[in-house]
């Protein structure tokens, strides 16, 4: 697979001029205030014992998200450790859901409380009652509600992600001062957005090969994945100009969340990534306001650094006093 983008030395200085949308902060303040005011009740946790696990307690979770609507998740707690525990909230890649709890044992094994968040409409356990009056033009989620920021799909999903931090921080087993946002691809873009929108409630962010950054560059250069949906929409639907479309998407762009995020963050980028071209990642990373580092995988595709990146994350968190709890024995 060839290199997909700019040389690394150019990427490290890549800071394109991307106009910030008018009223960005007010838009998100009103969105989150409305979601919290809608309530939806306290998060609910139902213990799951099948399959039996000796070192993890698994809970089927429902917590209130956008408009108070219930969002599904898995909560995994390590057995034999004393709390309160640091917590990790994980957001899922594009078209994926929370899957099975057995797929998510790493963070629990490392001594963290781990909340895995289902993506509304993408996962099977969380529907997306779409309030948008606009028709769906392209298969996927990128053009849902693309006529206006108020209607766009990612307004609902990003709100769910912030409310997931609220839910995990309120759990009695969790140290609310040590909640970490994490994800890969779409999940990485959601972790970045959450680090900005949740503010001090996020102690660190793990932002792997993030999607949802510099949409226009992604639509112009990605050869695979969801950015292609935007290009296809613009090619087929000529009633709106590209500027109108990207004006909607700008309210959900990591390049605008990054300057508002101050928690320490570890990013990653892969130089052979055809889905999230590395320039889209660096466009956000270079604007990030908090302490930051980035792992660059020169021969990585969209899988990034795979398990090597997970090992790096564990060490990086421990160096910042955010390591997992140890067993009492």
As annotated, the active-site residues are 185, 273, 302
Rounded to an integer, what distance in angstroms lies between the CA atom of residue 75 and that of residue 85? 13
Tokens of 192: 């970045």
Task: Return the closest-CA partner of residue 197 out of 209, 212, 181, 213.
Answer: 181
Rounded to an integer, what distance in angstroms lies between the CA atom of residue 67 and that of residue 196? 20
Task: Return the closest-CA partner of residue 175 out of 299, 68, 77, 290.
Answer: 77
Rounded to an integer, what distance in angstroms lies between the CA atom of residue 94 and that of residue 285? 20
Asked if 196 contacts 68 with a C-beta cutoff of 8 angstroms, the reply is no
Tokens of 282: 């660096």
- Is the previous residue joined to 84 through a cis bond, with omega within 30 degrees of 0? yes
Chain-centre distance for alpha carbon 134: 25
């Amino acid at each position: 697979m060839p290199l997909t983008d700019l040389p690394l030395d150019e990427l490290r200085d890549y800071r394109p001029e991307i106009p910030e949308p008018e009223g960005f902060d007010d838009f998100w303040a009103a969105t989150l205030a409305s979601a919290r005011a809608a309530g939806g009740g306290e998060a609910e946790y139902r213990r799951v014992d099948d399959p039996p696990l000796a070192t993890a307690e698994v809970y089927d979770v429902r917590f209130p998200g956008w408009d108070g609507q219930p969002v599904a998740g898995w909560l995994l707690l390590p057995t034999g450790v004393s709390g309160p525990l640091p917590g990790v909230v994980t957001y899922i890649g594009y078209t994926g859901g929370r899957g099975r709890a057995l797929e998510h044992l790493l963070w629990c094994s490392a001594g963290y409380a781990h909340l895995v968040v289902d993506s509304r409409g993408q996962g099977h356990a969380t529907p997306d009652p779409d309030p948008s009056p606009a028709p769906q033009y392209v298969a996927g989620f990128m053009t849902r509600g693309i006529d206006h920021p108020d209607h766009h799909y990612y307004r609902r999903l990003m709100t769910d992600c912030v409310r997931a931090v609220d839910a995990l921080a309120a759990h009695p087993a969790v140290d609310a001062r040590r909640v970490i946002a994490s994800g890969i691809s779409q999940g990485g873009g959601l972790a970045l957005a959450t680090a900005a929108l949740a503010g001090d409630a996020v102690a660190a962010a793990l932002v792997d090969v993030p999607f949802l950054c510099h949409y226009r560059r992604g639509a112009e250069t990605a050869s695979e994945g969801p950015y292609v949906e935007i290009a296809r929409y613009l090619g087929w639907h000529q009633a709106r100009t590209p500027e109108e479309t990207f004006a909607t998407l700008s309210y959900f762009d990591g390049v605008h969340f990054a300057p508002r995020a101050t928690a320490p963050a570890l990013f990653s980028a892969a130089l052979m990534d055809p889905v999230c071209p590395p320039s889209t990642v660096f466009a956000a990373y270079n604007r990030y306001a908090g302490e930051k580092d980035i792992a660059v995988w020169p021969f990585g595709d969209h899988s990034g650094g795979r398990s090597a990146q997970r090992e790096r994350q564990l060490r990086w968190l421990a160096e910042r006093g955010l390591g997992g709890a140890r067993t009492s024995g």
